[in-house]
Structure 1
């Protein structure tokens, strides 16, 4: 996209074409206007249109341009935050409510994929959270305990089982979550768009919103060549909200700390290598603070990723780290070639919990998925669709409707993520 091979990398090369869309031209009306064609906006559009609600989606770039088209493709249950910490942070009403919603969220994703025939390399085989050292194993043991108390189908694997399922002996253990899996993330976004269009939604790409004004109880969202008039608005721009100052809804950007994340894909592994690398096709990541993620795509490429931006001096540093890390985890892959590389931004909040905001009268937004965007984005799109059409009340929402609060020292934290991860990768994983 934008003729930048490092924006979407392998996913753009291997995804089916996006459904045909055009820029908005002229003035239109809808029951609900949605800003952003990522998982949240597209899921909301699909669920609204399927219920007979008139909906228009405005996307500044292309379908899946933001984090929805750049992420690792792990369809995880829950949040990064431990379940008991979620309840502590959100309270006894919203805490259990969001844990139930997000615990079941992967099944919603895979059900949508099956129902709409979305070609996105879906693998509902679970995920492996891999423990690094005794500390990592202790963290996984506690996470397993908390999820099992909630009835989740998770299992802590011993070192032997971990070696068999990961194909590597570098981890002390792993947490297998049977609810989860992997997809081709850009293909999933494009498939959601196709399903929404088929249900009657209107999606306009290359249509950035330049102003939003309330007129007699309705909102008018203007683009360069047209406008949408609607009584209700869903803002689903998350980490790709445009601009700090002068842009629309700058409070979203001010609240989110951008964490850069990159992925690098190998050439396809041969049959012998595939027998020893994630043989059951789970996606995986480890317990390090500057984590490593790895998964296979349908063609047998191994995608390895971590915190960092593929630009400036970080480009060479992260490339070299990827080769070293891959060789440490899978010595049988030493010297394998890399085929593509890409990166994007994750929207982080100060407490790693998402935010549901009332930006103005009848204007709601969801943001801060903290690296868990696929399943949460999908189910929050459905939640916001139900809220917009009045079948879910504010009292029934999984998160409280709040006002955005700017993150302290946001720019310093963003610099720490980018340059700190490069420093870590410069000195770690050396053979």
Structure 2
């Protein structure tokens, strides 16, 4: 994307074309202006337009340019935080409310895909959170205990059951979550954009917002060549925020994450490696993830940036690790490589912000963007439509706050991942 093959890799290569858009030119009016063309912005626009609102969406680059078009493609339920810990962090009301909303969020994603006929390689076979060693097994056992107590369709698999589903004996067990699944993330974003446009949302790409101005009860949102007057502004830029809402990016620590996609595997390998096409990630601190696309490419990723020395270090690690997990795969070649940035908040939970009167947004998805972004977009629409009061939102109102030593932490994550991957699977 934007002539950078390492920005979106396989997803750009295999996604359907986005709907036709253009940059904003001149002045226009709307009920709501949405800033950001990822899952949150597109979902909120779609739900607002279906309810009859006039919506203009402004995207600085292209649809799905940020995390929406670069991620692994796991439709996860919940967040990284253990379910029982959420009420302690957010309080019993918001904690239980967020658990319920995000636990059921994959259902909304799959329903929208079905309703709008979005071609995005949807797989509904669940995900596997795989235990590395005894400590990892304790973690997935505890997650199983907490989610199953809440009635979630999860199962605890032993080592043999896990090996049969994945095709490797590397894991001590796993948590199978049947609420979850996988998809082609950029294709999903483009499909949401197409559905939103058909519902009446006016989409403008290559239109970064440079300023806003309050004029009476209305907002004027300005780009380099145009402006939109609206009653409401939805800020849906998250970790890639710049301009007037750069504080959204500043309250998050960037964690780089890369993916490599193999050439399509042969039919025999595809029968033994992830034959049911679950999405997989492990319990390591520097985690790994992998899943299969519909053409049989194995998409394998971890923490790190594919730039400078990181490219050779992480590529070498990925090849060694795949060969260790799946010896039968041999010296497999990679067809695509790409990376992006995950925005991590200080408590690994998302945020709800009100930047000014009628200027609102959710952010801080901590690597869980697909389902939360989609359901938070619908939530913003319901709030603006008057169907959900602020007191009934799934998160309390907070002010953006920059974490201490943010820049140093980001340098440490990128450098530390290189050191770890240089050594791992080598010695």
Using structure 1 for the length normalisation, give the TM-score: 0.98
Report the counterpart of residue 209 of structure 1 in structure 2. Answer: 209
On the 8 A contact 1:264/1:305 being kept in 2, the answer is yes
Equivalent in the alignment of 2:66: 66
Match of 1:308 among 304, 309, 314: 304
**How is 1:51-62 mapped onto 2 (pairs within 5 angstroms)?**
51-62=51-62
Matched, 1:327 2:323: yes
User: How far 1:336 sits from its partner (Å)?
Assistant: 1.0
- 2:344 corresponds in structure 1 to 348
User: Could you report, residue by residue, the CA deviation over 1:272-315 in whole angstroms, capped at 9, with x for unpaired residues?
Assistant: 00011001110000000100000000100000000000001101
Query: Paired residue for 1:11?
Result: 11
Matching of residues 120-135 of structure 1 within 5 Å: 120-135=120-135
Q: Which digits, 9 at most, give the CA deviation of each residue in 1:348-403, with x for residues without a partner?
A: 00110000101111111111100000000000000001111111100110001211
2-structure distance, mates of 1:69, 1:249? 21
Once the two structures are superposed, the pairs formed by residues 253-264 of structure 1 within 5 Å of their partners are: 253-264=249-260
How many equivalent residue pairs?
427
The secondary structure found in structure 1 opposite 2:91 is helix
Map residues 184-223 of structure 1 onto 2, 5 A cutoff. Answer: 184-223=184-223
SS state at 1:401 partner: coil
Whole-angstrom distance in 2 between the partners of 1:359 and 1:332:
54
Aligned-pair CA distance for 1:334: 1.9
Q: SS in structure 1 opposite 2:382? A: helix
Alpha-carbon contact 1:263-1:341 (below 8 Å) kept: yes
Counterparts of 1:347 and 1:364, CA distance in 2: 18
Q: CA deviation at 1:250?
A: 2.5
Deviations 1:165-219 (A, max 9, x none): 0111010001000000000000000000000000011110000001111111211
Structure 1 counterpart of 2:32: 32
Match for residue 427 of structure 1?
A: 423
Tell whether 2:246 aligns with 1:250: yes
Secondary structure in structure 2 of the residue aligned to 1:351: coil
Question: Gaps (5+ residues) in structure 1?
Answer: none
**Which residue is equivalent to 1:360?**
356
**Residue 83 of structure 2 corresponds to which residue in structure 1?**
83
Helix, strand or coil at the partner of 2:426 = coil
Q: Which residue of 1 aligns with 2:162?
A: 162
Matches within 5 A, 1:266-415: 266-415=262-411
Deviations 1:314-360 (Å, cap 9, x if unpaired)? 01000001001111111111201110000001110011000010111
> CA separation in 2, counterparts of 1:357 and 1:237?
12
TM superposition shift of 1:406: 1.1
Q: Measure, in 2, the Cα distance between the counterparts of 1:250 and 1:194.
A: 28
- For the aligned residues, what is the CA RMSD? 0.7
Quote the residue 1:114 is aligned against. 114
What TM-score comes out, normalization by structure 2 length? Answer: 0.99
- 2 CA distance for matches of 1:293 and 1:56? 36
Q: Distance in 1 between matches of 2:192 and 2:246?
A: 27
Paired residues of 1:36 and 1:59 also in contact (CA < 8 A): yes
Structure 1 ranges of 4+ moved more than 3 A = none
CA distance in 1, matches of 2:210, 2:26: 14
- Which residue is equivalent to 2:92? 92
Structure 2 unpaired stretches of 5+ = none
Q: Report deviation, 1:86.
A: 1.3
Whether the 8 Å CA contact 1:49–1:199 is kept in 2: the answer is: yes
CA contact 1:325–1:430 (8 Å) conserved in 2: no
Distance 1:167 1:341 in 2: 23
- Cα deviation code 1:241-291 (max 9, x no counterpart): 01xxxx312321220111100000000000000011001110000000100
CA–CA distance in 2 between the matches of 1:66 and 1:254? 16
